[in-house]
Structure 1
C-alpha cells in the first residue's frame, strides 16, 4: 500500500513516566516519495557491517565467570524480593572490570558481590567491581505514521506510549513490528501516537515479570509493516532502509537509536552484549549495554537500535531501559532465536 499525505488532530496522552501533553503534529508526508511495500529479506554479507571491525580486548574467563555469578544472584534477589531496586551489570571492555549500576543499599550490594567463597581467580576479578549509584527505568513512551509502518515511530494504547522497533516476518511471510514487551499485554489494540490509525494487535509477549522469560519484547501484527527506520527529529519524515540484522559488537562507538521521544541519535558505544538489567518488570539478560551520545528517554522504549552506513540500518536490537547514563537494548539475536522470525529489509 502506498503512503499518501494526510493531516490529523493531535491527541493528549498521559504516560506512566510523566504527564505529556501533545498538540497537533505536522502532517505526515512520505519520506521523499510515497511509501512502497518492503521486500523480503535477502542474504547479506555480514562482514560488510560497519561495526564488525570493533576491536577490544577479550574479557578474562575469571571476570566472565564472576559476572555470571553476580548476575545470577541479582536475578534471584529480584525474583525473591521484588523490583524495589534496579540493577544493571556488564563487563567494561576498556578496563575488564565488572560494572554494577544500582540504587540498592550498600548491604544488598555487598551481599550480591561477595565472592569470598569462590575460586581465587573469581575473587580477584570481583575486587574490581565498580558500583555506580543509578536507577534504571523501562524506557516508556515518531509521533504519527501511516501504513506501511516504519520503525522508530510513536505508538500508544491505554495511555502509555512506546516506539516501534523494526519489521520481521515469520515462515509464512506474515509481517509484524517488534517493540518492548513491557509496553502492553497480549491482545492489546495499539494505535499510532496521534490516535489516527490502528497499528495492530499485540502478540508473542515475552517479559520477565509476566512470562518468566529474561526478555523484553513483543510483536504487533495485523497491519502493513515496512523494512525502514525513521531518521532525523521527532516529527521527521525521513527514513533509511533496513539492510540486515545480526549481533552487536562490543567496542563499536557509533550505534544509533530511533524513537518518538528523542528521534534518531547516534554515537552510542556498545560496552557489552551479555549484560543484565533488572527493572520494575524483572531481570532481562543477555542484553546490550551502551553508553555515550544522546541517551534514550521515556517513550523511546521498543525503538530500533542499529549501526548505520550509506546502505542503511543494520539492526542489532530494540531499546528497553536506561538509567540516564547507560542504555540497554534487547538483542535481535534473542528475538530471532525465540520466535524464528527473519528481518524485513527495505
Structure 2
C-alpha cells in the first residue's frame, strides 16, 4: 500500500465531467482527491537535446531490415508464435540485429537478403534470446496516474498515460494485457480502475499493434516516478515519437519503477511474441530495462518534473533489450490527443 502522503486528501476537488465510449459506457464522475496544480511553464530544453541526438542509417541497411521484418512476419503468420523474434537496426554499426529463440536453420532463411538488390552489402546479425510480453505502484487512487500496477484475470500490467478523446479521458496500456470488457483493478485490488475497450493486438487480427484503453474512471495527466513504492510523479506536458539515437529515455512501471538512461536504438523495429508481430516499434537498451509486469508503462523523455510521452512498453527479453509501442500509432489509431497538466 502507498503511504498516505502519496497524494494526501486535502479536500474536495471537482473534476470536469468526462464523456463515454460509443459502447454505452457511463460518463466519468468526480473525485475527492486533489489534482496537482497545472504546470505554468514548460521547459523544452530537453527536446532540443533529444532532436540533436538523431542518427541516420544507410539505405541498404534499412532495406535489409524491411526485408527481414517482412520475412519474420510472414513466418509467424504461417507457423504461429512458437518462436519469438525481436529485430532492430543498430545505427552505430549499420547492422540489422535479430534476437530469437528459433532454430539456426529457421533464422538462416529468414535473414537471407542475398536476393534483395536494395539490401546489397548490408549485414544481418543474429543472437539467441527469448522475448516475451511483459505481464506481471501498487495501490493507486483516482484520478489515476500512469505507471501504476493494474490487474485482472490473473494478469498484472502497468498503466501508461492519459489521453483525450473529445471531452472524454482514457488511460492507455498494452493491448496484450486484458480482453475487451474486462474490469481492471489496481494491483492491490482495493480500487476499480475501469473497463477495457478498443483493444488492438496483432494476434487478434488488428494489424501490428499492441494497445488498448481503459475507461469509466478519472485519469490524471501525470505518471509515477521514483521507485516501486514512490509517491512522486511527473506532469505530462506533451507527446511525440522517439528519436533514434537519443540516450536518456525513461520508463516507469510497477515492476522496475522509474528507470532512465535508455537509448532508442531503432524507431522502426519489430517484435514478435506470443501475441503476434508488432511494428514499427521502438527498440531500446541501456540502464535498467523493463521486466514482466511493466507492459503498458509509459516510455518518455523527462526534464525535472515534466515528461513528454513517446509510447508505452510492450516487450522485453529480460535485460538486454526492450520494445515500446509508438505514441504516433496510438494517436492515429484512436484519434486521441495526449492529456497534459
- TM normalised by structure 2 equals 0.88
> What per-residue deviation string (whole Å, max 9, x for no partner) do you get for residues 196-230 of structure 1?
10000000100000133100010000000000000
Give, in angstroms, the shift of residue 26 of structure 1.
4.2
Other-structure match for 1:132:
127
> What per-residue deviation string (whole Å, max 9, x for no partner) do you get for residues 156-186 of structure 1?
0011100000000102x10100000000111
SS of equivalent residue, structure 2 residue 6? coil
SS of equivalent residue, structure 2 residue 120? helix
> What per-residue deviation string (whole Å, max 9, x for no partner) do you get for residues 44-72 of structure 1?
89786255334354111111111101101
Moved over 6 A (4+): 38-47
> What per-residue deviation string (whole Å, max 9, x for no partner) do you get for residues 246-298 of structure 1?
01011111111011111111111100110000000000000000001101111
Asked if structure 2 preserves the Cα contact closer than 8 Å seen for 1:39 and 1:345, the reply is no
Give, in angstroms, the shift of residue 32 of structure 1.
7.2
Judging changes above 3 Å, is the alpha-carbon distance between structure 1 residues 85 and 253 closer, same or farther for their aligned structure 2 residues?
same
Instruction: State whether structure 2 residue 151 is matched by structure 1 residue 156.
Output: yes
Other-structure match for 1:80:
78
What is the CA–CA distance in structure 2 between the aligned matches of 1:91 and 1:169, rounded to whole Å?
Answer: 33
Instruction: State whether structure 2 residue 196 is matched by structure 1 residue 202.
Output: yes
Other-structure match for 2:279:
285
Judging changes above 3 Å, is the alpha-carbon distance between structure 1 residues 56 and 336 closer, same or farther for their aligned structure 2 residues?
closer
Other-structure match for 1:270:
264
Other-structure match for 2:161:
166
Other-structure match for 2:240:
246
What is the CA–CA distance in structure 1 between the aligned matches of 2:308 and 2:277, rounded to whole Å?
Answer: 26
What is the CA–CA distance in structure 2 between the aligned matches of 1:43 and 1:72, rounded to whole Å?
Answer: 44
Stretches of structure 2 that go unaligned for 5 or more consecutive residues are 11-32
Asked if structure 1 preserves the Cα contact closer than 8 Å seen for 2:240 and 2:328, the reply is yes
1:250-329 matched pairs, under 5 angstroms: 250-324=244-318, 325-329=320-324
Asked if structure 1 preserves the Cα contact closer than 8 Å seen for 2:259 and 2:287, the reply is yes
1:1-346 matched pairs, under 5 angstroms: 25-31=1-7, 35-37=33-35, 49=47, 51-119=49-117, 121-125=118-122, 128-171=123-166, 173-324=167-318, 325-346=320-341
What is the CA–CA distance in structure 2 between the aligned matches of 1:36 and 1:50, rounded to whole Å?
Answer: 33
Computed over aligned residues only, the root mean square deviation of the Cα atoms, in angstroms, reads: 2.1
SS of equivalent residue, structure 1 residue 288? strand
Asked if structure 2 preserves the Cα contact closer than 8 Å seen for 1:50 and 1:307, the reply is no
Other-structure match for 1:14:
none
- TM normalised by structure 1 equals 0.87
Judging changes above 3 Å, is the alpha-carbon distance between structure 1 residues 244 and 137 closer, same or farther for their aligned structure 2 residues?
same
What is the CA–CA distance in structure 2 between the aligned matches of 1:215 and 1:49, rounded to whole Å?
Answer: 26
Give, in angstroms, the shift of residue 232 of structure 1.
0.9
Stretches of structure 1 that go unaligned for 5 or more consecutive residues are 1-24
What is the CA–CA distance in structure 2 between the aligned matches of 1:55 and 1:254, rounded to whole Å?
Answer: 10
Give, in angstroms, the shift of residue 113 of structure 1.
1.0
Other-structure match for 2:19:
none
